[in-house]
């Protein structure tokens, strides 16, 4: 599978990532730029597959609407939607465990093929309890691949290139989601069943791409260091990672208000739902067009400082909603927290890879993913409660949480053995053992 199409799509963005490379002015085409970045072929395969998979991520977004059209009450539909979140939390932990035990490639294929099968069965379910069970399984199967993908990226590229690699991966996700929202609207206008079929089809495409285009898992299996033979022995003494998890949950709670109470804020100001949609589009477009260029800058600075700055921007951005009664000011607030998302997103994932022992990268990525799953549950539940009590109070709380999270990250120190491990393994990636063109 040649990555030429994907490279041409992202040629300009990749050029921005390459600006620091020696002789950049001589680079005339995407293939030469890939050599400058030294991104292996397997990373492009993963990004292409992820792009197609996210195009088909329809069902979770349209589940409530689908169920209400089938005669279920809003409460019953909400129960089913919550079940997806429960499945995704389980997927974060299990996906990381499987990635470290079964291998990244096998875990991604298991996730995709199981997701496709579950979606097809779910499309035929008519009994509420069965729908809830299948939605839970769908959340588990669909999200199982995420820790494995993140761990694979960490395996493929050395530490100094991870920010750019994760930015490229996130761009594939965001482009897929953006395209998928258009496709989903077209399919849903004809038949909701087409959403399930389309979701299953894109999962199969991703699974087959991994099966045939991604080489067998040939990473050099890192030996656990003394006292770190399993995940809990490694993570419990790792106060830095535990502190990052707590900060991550706080920021996830703040950031995910854009899917719940931000809509209520727009409504409370007497503005239409179209304004809420416009604000979300500002976020989506900014992420798509700015994340790679900004990542080319942020990768030059210490990662804890960048993460802290991003967390702070997210908190302050949502805090600005307390002082934003007009559409321009609302848009300004969205731009601020979107910049925070862009600044910290790829850097945080790369930093988690730096903090993790090589043999537990999947587990660390999985647990980090759980912070966002927890936030997805807490944000609408607690956010709406605080919003009902005090609108201004919620946004002040968001600013406070973002500030505290930023300060917490600055306190993180990297364990000495991880520093030594990073130095010794910085030149050893999957590219060195055959996973490259």
Per-residue three-class SS string for 353-397: HHHCCHHHHHHHHHHHHHHHHHHHHHHHHHHHHHHHHCHHHHHHH
Mean pLDDT to the nearest integer, 40-47: 92
Each residue's pLDDT tens digit, 388-422? 899 999 999 999 999 999 999 998 866 544 444 44
As a 3-state breakdown, the chain gives helix, strand, coil percent values, each rounded to 5, of 80, 0, 20
Output the pLDDT for position 66: 83
Under the banding of pLDDT at 50, 70 and 90, the label for residue 219 is low
Of residues 149 and 380, the one with the higher pLDDT is: 149
pLDDT tens per residue, range 76-112: 887 887 788 788 888 988 998 898 888 899 999 999 9
Q: What distance in Å separates the CA atoms of residue 133 and residue 125, rounded to the nearest whole number?
A: 10
The pLDDT score that the predictor gives to residue 232 is: 63
pTM, full prediction: 0.76
CATH tag, 40-219: 1.20.1250.20
CB 3 within 8 A of CB 9: no
What pLDDT is recorded for position 13? 46
The pLDDT of residue 321 is 96
Lowest-pLDDT choice from 32-41, 149-158, 299-308, 428-437 = 428-437
Q: What residues contact 182, with CB distance under 8 A and at least 6 apart?
A: none
Q: Please state which of the ranges 20-34, 58-72, 194-208 shows the lowest mean pLDDT.
A: 20-34
pLDDT value of residue 272: 83
- Is 56 or 416 the better-scoring residue by pLDDT? 56
Using the predicted structure, report yes or no on whether residue 19 has a pLDDT greater than 50.
no
Determine the number of helices (DSSP H) and then strands (DSSP E) in the chain. 20, 0
20-29, 122-131, 325-334, 404-413 — which is least confidently predicted? 20-29
pLDDT band at 3 (very low <50, low <70, confident <90, very high): very low
Looking at residue 50, its pLDDT comes to 93
Per-residue model confidence (pLDDT) at position 37: 55
Domain boundaries, given as residue ranges, for the chain = 40-219, 233-425
Confidence (pLDDT) at 236: 67
pLDDT averaged over every residue in the chain: 81
Same fold, 40-219 and 233-425: yes
The per-residue pLDDT for 231 is 60
Helix (H, G, I), strand (E, B) or coil at 236: coil
More confidently predicted of 222 and 413? 413
Check pLDDT > 50 for residue 26.
no
pLDDT at 209: 94
Q: Where does residue 101 rank: exposed (0-12), middle (13-18), buried (19+ CB within 10 A)?
A: exposed
**What topology does CATH give the domain 233-425?**
Growth Hormone; Chain: A; (1.20.1250)
For range 366-373, the mean pLDDT: 87
**So what's the pLDDT on residue 414?**
60
Which pLDDT score, from 0 to 100, does residue 235 have? 65
Output the pLDDT for position 428: 43
Q: How far apart are CA 85 and CA 320, in angstroms?
A: 29
Contacts 24+ apart (CB under 8 A), 431-437: 431/38, 431/40, 431/156, 431/157, 433/218, 433/219, 433/220, 434/215, 434/218, 435/40, 435/41, 435/42, 435/156, 435/215, 435/218, 435/219, 436/40, 436/41, 436/42, 437/40, 437/41
Percent of the chain with pLDDT over 90: 36
């Amino acid at each position: 599978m040649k990555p030429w199409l994907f490279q041409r799509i992202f040629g300009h963005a990749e050029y921005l990532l390459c600006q620091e490379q020696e002789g950049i002015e001589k680079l005339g085409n995407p293939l030469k730029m890939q050599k400058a970045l030294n991104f292996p072929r397997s990373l492009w395969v993963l990004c292409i597959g992820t792009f197609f998979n996210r195009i088909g991520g329809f069902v979770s977004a349209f589940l409530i609407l689908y169920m209400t059209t089938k005669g279920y009450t809003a409460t019953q539909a909400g129960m089913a939607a919550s079940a997806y979140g429960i499945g995704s939390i389980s997927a974060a932990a299990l996906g990381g465990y499987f990635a470290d035990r079964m291998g990244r490639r096998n875990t991604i294929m298991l996730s995709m093929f199981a997701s496709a099968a579950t979606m097809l069965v779910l499309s035929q379910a008519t009994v509420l309890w069965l729908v809830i069970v299948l939605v839970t399984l769908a959340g588990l199967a669909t999200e199982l691949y995420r820790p494995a993908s993140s761990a694979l990226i960490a395996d493929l590229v050395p530490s100094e290139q991870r920010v750019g690699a994760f930015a490229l991966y996130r761009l594939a996700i965001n482009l897929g989601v953006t395209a998928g929202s258009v496709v989903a609207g077209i399919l849903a206008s004809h038949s909701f069943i087409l959403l399930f079929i389309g979701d299953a089809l894109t999962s199969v495409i991703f699974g087959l791409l991994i099966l045939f285009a991604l080489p067998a898992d040939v990473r050099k299996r890192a030996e656990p260091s003394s006292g770190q033979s399993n995940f809990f022995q490694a993570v419990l003494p790792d106060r830095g990672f535990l502190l990052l998890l707590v900060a991550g949950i706080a920021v996830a709670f703040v950031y995910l208000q854009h899917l719940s109470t931000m809509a209520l804020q727009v409504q409370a100001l007497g503005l239409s739902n179209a304004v809420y949609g416009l604000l979300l589009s500002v976020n989506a477009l900014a992420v798509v067009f700015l994340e790679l260029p900004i990542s080319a800058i942020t990768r030059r600075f210490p990662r804890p400082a960048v993460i802290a700055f991003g967390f702070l921007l997210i908190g302050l951005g949502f805090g600005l909603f307390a002082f934003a009664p007009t559409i321009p000011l609302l848009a300004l607030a969205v731009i601020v927290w979107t910049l925070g998302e862009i600044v910290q997103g790829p850097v945080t994932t790369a930093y988690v890879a730096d903090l993790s022992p090589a043999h537990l990268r999947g587990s660390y990525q999985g647990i980090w993913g759980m912070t966002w799953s927890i936030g997805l549950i807490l944000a609408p539940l607690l956010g709406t409660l605080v919003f009902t009590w005090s609108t201004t109070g919620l946004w002040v709380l968001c600013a406070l949480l973002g500030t505290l999270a930023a300060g917490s990250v600055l306190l993180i120190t990297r364990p000495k053995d991880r520093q030594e491990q990073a130095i010794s393994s910085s030149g050893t990636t999957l590219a060195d053992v055959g996973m490259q063109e």
